[in-house]
Chain A
Amino acid sequence: DAGVIQSPRHEVTEMGQEVTLRCKPISGHNSLFWYRQTMMRGLELLIYFNNNVPIDDSGMPEDRFSAKMPNASFSTLKIQPSEPRDSAVYFCATLRGGGQPQHFGDGTRLSIL
């Protein structure tokens, strides 16, 4: 079991640039979650998908953030344009089905200068 794979592990870019974070779920897992972790706000759920369909995006902070899941093997979280306050660790988590635990990737540490 390869686990949830996120890329890149680290990203440093200048404000105003577009940032794309990637996630490959565990095979057979049909729900996918994007989280943001900061010291001030802890773990925040941004959006989650079930069977590739966005179910709840109420945590997406603003229109600069968008997420897609074009197929069961891949998801992206995009920030355009990026701002320094977007600096955080972004996690992807997936689960197999109802009542099962979420499995997290090791995150992308994003720094916007």
Chain B
Amino acid sequence: GENVEQHPSTLSVQEGDSAVIKCTYSDSASNYFPWYKQELGKGPQLIIDIRSNVGEKKDQRIAVTLNKTAKHFSLHITETQPEDSAVYFCAAATSGTYKYIFGTGTRLKVLA
């Protein structure tokens, strides 16, 4: 069945360093890839998304890259800050279905 693998499951970085989270999807029909940040006691919040007709997208310190051939997409956070500490989820979706297949999450800790 459809599957999204996410790595690593935990990631610790020093404040100011970069963090990279990687996801791989199985369904070649997937064409929409959102990333969510979940803080303790809150629901997942969308932080950035990318569609299959684009290879990269940036929003300030956050960027996402997509390699359709390899079915990989990655989240890059630069100049990390303590408030970036949270659980991050990737997801893959196919237009017309509305269903997201979520990765298993990455717990990011930014050490001050």
Interface size class, chain B: 20 to 34
Q: Which B residues lie within 8 Å of A106 (CB)?
A: 41-43
The CA-CA distance from A104 to B102 in the complex, in Å, is 14
For window 69-102 of A, CB contacts with B under 8 Å fall at: 91, 93, 95, 98-99, 101-102
In the complex, the chain A residue whose C-beta lies closest to that of B89 is A43
CA distance A45 to B99 in the complex (A): 8
Residues of B within 8 A of A (CB): 32, 34, 36, 41-46, 49, 51, 89, 95-96, 98-100, 102, 104-105
Please tell me which one of the listed residues B41, B46, B49 contacts residue A103 in the complex, with CB atoms under 8 A apart. B46
Interfacial chain B residues near A48, Cβ < 8 Å: 98-99
* Majority-rule SS of A interface residues: strand
23 A-B pairs, CB-CB below 8 angstroms? A4-B43, A43-B44, A43-B89, A45-B99, A45-B100, A48-B98, A48-B99, A55-B98, A91-B43, A95-B98, A98-B95, A98-B96, A98-B98, A99-B32, A101-B34, A101-B46, A102-B46, A102-B100, A104-B36, A106-B41, A106-B42, A106-B43, A107-B42
